Structure 1
Amino acid sequence: MNSITQASLSLASSHYENFPVASILLPLRLRQPIALIYSFARQADDFADEGDLAPEQRLALLEGFRQELDRINAGAVPQHAFFQTLAAMIARHKLPLQPFYDLLDAFSQDIVKSRYENFGQVMDYCRRSANPIGRLLLHLYGKATPRNIGYADAICSALQLINFLQDVAIDYRKDRIYFPQDEMRKFRITEAQIAAGDASGTWWTFMQFEIERARRLLQSGAPLGLVLPGRIGLEMRTIIAGGETILRKLHQHHGDVFQHRPVVRSWDWARILFKAIRKK
């Protein structure tokens, strides 16, 4: 294992919070390529989020990643060592490049777009920010059938929506709101209320609507956990159960993510693994 792959594994194991990334549930032959995919996404996401760079500088960094993908696509040697390792993994597993481009498009969008008028716009963002990961995993597993891709898209989009729900305050500090604006108006939720961390009034009614929609979407993809065999099926069921755990915690606290941001604790993982092993 080269140093870049080892660093990617370390990054994957240290950065996840509520959902496992390249976890020990998976065979080692899959953990390494998944860690490289995660490292690509994490680095690109950090370009959009971290530090004090100007928007044009952030976009330039993402364009640099895009140019490296172009080199891989053209059969040329990438300039940076990380992309050379990534290119070898992509070739070895015959992965499509479009999901990598889609991720970069989503991260670029985060720099220039901070509000979403309706749920269709939010889902279009999820299509590029979350679904590519599920699609790449299915290609790694050799299970990228149309039916499985549909299941994976539902799971990944649902997990992205769940992340939006738990990170309302964090995203607002970055001047981002992923709630559909038309739904905020319908439930009389204002940006001032989010800024104040105010979960009173119609907040719980609004959050119930958002929680239940995410739950239905997650459940619509849940059969994938039974379709995928062996340890990859167990990993998928664990991820789904982790999402369900966050939704349950959101419901328990009436959607008050300002005072009770949900996090999966060590004792939750025991319950999640038990559920995943039982296939329930």
Structure 2
Amino acid sequence: MLQLSKSPCMRTLASLEDSYELCRQVTAEYAKTFYLGTQLMPEAKRRAIWAIYVWCRRTDELVDGPMAAATTEETLDQWEQHLEAVFAGHPRDDVDVALVDTLHRFPLEIQPFRDMIAGQRMDLYRNRYQTFEELELYCYRVAGTVGLMSTAVMGVEPPVMTPWNPNPEVMIPNQEAIALGIANQLTNILRDVGEDTRRGRIYLPLDDLALFNYTEEDLFKGIVDDRWRELMRFEIQRARKFYAEAEKGISVLSEEIRWPVWTALVLYRQILDEIERNEYDVFRKRAYVPKWRKMMSLPVALLRAKVL
């Protein structure tokens, strides 16, 4: 995977086309379900989303990748300086070229990117969350921010002018976009419980574990019993509420973008269904949506995009 440049690169950087192609390849390899949704977008928008995804992945890998053990506060400070250089129009490596172009084409703001880096700072020092409110802040920073970035690219449908409302307000579905990011992150957390415990991390709120009389020791042992199943039902229901909130904002997005967004939402939400099919055993079975089920979801998503 791509590494953080410690200083501006003196060599000739990739061409714009090559940079976008590199972003496409990374997205296709590491985010197959997400990539399928982007394939339904107009070319300019899907390329921009690939560029944003690669930046987000690189940011995440600083604290969750193969070189994470070497990451410090100084590393994240350097990465934030790297971000500022990109926003100033100065790419430092090959994939930056695509992101700089994306920033010229779409009205992205730097704050969501900074907020995501703040989320990685949380991961440097925390491996437990006591309350859901604490976890929700983390989910906003590492995933809700992606919703804000994406909305700036996707755009919204111009409001309809009428004689009784000649100056309608443009609705920007930022809260709904954040909700979708949080829903996706909660889904990741539920799918990856086993993997996270092997790294000594618990993202499920400790208050929730206590509510169902399930202990950290039980979690590290991978115990699947009635307590665990009730806890997982509780967490899945919470994630689905965020998906339901996110749905409310899709209808105001640009018409050309609604189908891919519905597709991404429907496909990712199905991971929760797979967890249920696996009888909540996320310790020994990885929940994933089979390709045939993904394909069957496309017309469902299209119908929703047309009528909702």
TM-score for both structures, normalised by structure 2 = 0.83
- Taking a change above 3 Å as real, the CA distance of residues 54 and 270 of structure 1, as seen in their structure-2 partners, is closer
Unaligned runs of 5+ in 1: none
Counterpart residue identity of residue 249, structure 2: L
Which residue of structure 1 lines up, in the alignment, with residue 3 of structure 2?
none
Counting aligned pairs with the same residue, the percent is: 27
Report whether the alignment pairs 1:64 with 2:78: yes
Which residue of structure 2 lines up, in the alignment, with residue 176 of structure 1?
201
Larger radius of gyration: 2
CA distance in 1, matches of 2:301, 2:81: 40
| Mapping for residues 42-121 of structure 1, pairs under 5 Å | 42-55=57-70, 57-73=71-87, 75=88, 77-121=90-134
* Counterpart selection for 2:151 from 124, 132, 138: 138
Which residue of structure 2 lines up, in the alignment, with residue 237 of structure 1?
262
Aligned residues of 1:22 and 1:34 also touching (Cα < 8 A)? no
Structure 1 position 63, deviation (Å): 2.4
CA distance in 2, matches of 1:146, 1:182: 36
CA distance in 1, matches of 2:34, 2:21: 20
- Taking a change above 3 Å as real, the CA distance of residues 77 and 228 of structure 1, as seen in their structure-2 partners, is closer
Which residue of structure 2 lines up, in the alignment, with residue 274 of structure 1?
299
Counterpart residue identity of residue 205, structure 1: E
Deviations 1:24-45 (A, max 9, x none): 1011111111111111011111
Report whether the alignment pairs 1:12 with 2:37: no
Which residue of structure 1 lines up, in the alignment, with residue 286 of structure 2?
261
**Could you tell which deviates more after superposition, 192-201 or 117-126?**
192-201
Unaligned runs of 5+ in 2: 1-15, 158-169
Which residue of structure 2 lines up, in the alignment, with residue 34 of structure 1?
49
Which residue of structure 2 lines up, in the alignment, with residue 210 of structure 1?
235
Aligned residues of 2:251 and 2:258 also touching (Cα < 8 A)? yes
Aligned residues of 1:47 and 1:58 also touching (Cα < 8 A)? no
CA RMSD of aligned residues (A): 2.2
Counterpart residue identity of residue 238, structure 1: T
CA distance in 2, matches of 1:223, 1:130: 18
Count of residues in Structure 1 that have an aligned counterpart in Structure 2: 278
- 3-state SS of the aligned residue for 1:2? helix
Deviations 1:63-122 (A, max 9, x none): 22200223345x463544543542332133121011111111112221221110100001
